Amino acid sequence: MRRIALDTGGPVLGIAAARGDEILRFRELPPGFRHIENLTPALEDLLCELEWTAPSLDALVVAAGPGSFTGLRVGMAAAKGLSLASGAPLVSVDSLEALATSEALADPSFRGLVVPVIDARKARLYGAIFEQQGPGVLRRILDNSDLPAPDLARAVAARDPETWKLAGALAPETLAGDLSPELLARQRPARHPRGASALPGLVRCGAARLREGLIDDPYAGPAYLRAGDVGEAKNYPRFSG
């Protein structure tokens, strides 16, 4: 089955062409890439490279958030437009779950807690906690949350994991100031590159949702976790960039 996956909510924009769970081609564009002007040409280039057309697509997969407000809106709009043009169904995938799944796929032998994090600005994080129980097998421990780093650190400490790791673009030291030396010593390095998109997990989770028939409602939108800040001064401290 021919599928296009869009990961536009994080610091790196990712586009993949996949067949089932297998990524055939992908593009990752660095921070500062202007989504609105260049996303459609990038999609067209990817389709042309594989000699695919919009009507030949079997499904579209898109990151639902949380993440960048603008990136999620642009990604969702592009995916819906391509879905309408091609007639292919659209499925959206939780961005933090896709990030955790990408890490689980990169390190299939790991057993412990996987903590996906995205910089939420305003000195806060979008985070969740999963337990990796097998190769690519995750069980959610903490729902998606918008919270300060100390609160996420406390949530990790409350589970007292034997091993754990951060997944995402942020440095492994992001929670260091709020954790005990003992817990920090149990932290393992992530295998999925910090600067990469969550395309592997997005494709895997999207394929699973398609098998379950979990097709998006045409009017569904991104999962922001917080209200927008239109009109507010954007000089808050950041964890990255």
Instruction: Specify the CATH number for the domain of residue 131.
Output: 3.30.420.200
Residue 149 inside a domain? The answer is yes
For range 11-38, the mean pLDDT:
84
Percent of the residues in the chain that have a pLDDT greater than 90, as a whole number:
75
| Cis bond upstream, residue 150 (ω within 30) | no
- Assess whether 159 and 47 both reside in one domain: no
* CA geometry: angle 101, 39, 214, nearest 5 deg: 45
Residue 26 inside a domain? The answer is yes
- Assess whether 106 and 89 both reside in one domain: no
For range 99-116, the mean pLDDT:
97
- Rounded Cα distance between 203 and 104, Å, is 13
User: In which domain, by residue range, is 205 found?
Assistant: 2-94+197-211
For range 200-226, the mean pLDDT:
93
* pLDDT reported for residue 31: 66
Residue 190 inside a domain? The answer is no
For range 31-47, the mean pLDDT:
79
CATH of residue 43:
3.30.420.40
Residue 237 inside a domain? The answer is no
pLDDT range class, residue 36, cuts 50, 70, 90: low
| Counted domains in the chain | 2
Residue 212 has pLDDT above 50, yes or no: yes
- Rounded Cα distance between 9 and 67, Å, is 5
Residue 225 inside a domain? The answer is no
Sign of the dihedral defined by the CA atoms of residues 172, 175, 178, 180, in that order: negative
- Assess whether 87 and 101 both reside in one domain: no
Residue 105 inside a domain? The answer is yes
- Assess whether 56 and 7 both reside in one domain: yes
- Assess whether 90 and 102 both reside in one domain: no
* pLDDT reported for residue 41: 87
* pLDDT reported for residue 202: 97
pLDDT range class, residue 182, cuts 50, 70, 90: very high
- Assess whether 33 and 88 both reside in one domain: yes
* pLDDT reported for residue 241: 45
Query: How does pLDDT run across 117-155, given as a tens digit for each residue?
Result: 999 988 999 999 999 998 889 999 999 999 999 999 999
- Assess whether 107 and 89 both reside in one domain: no
Residue 223 inside a domain? The answer is no
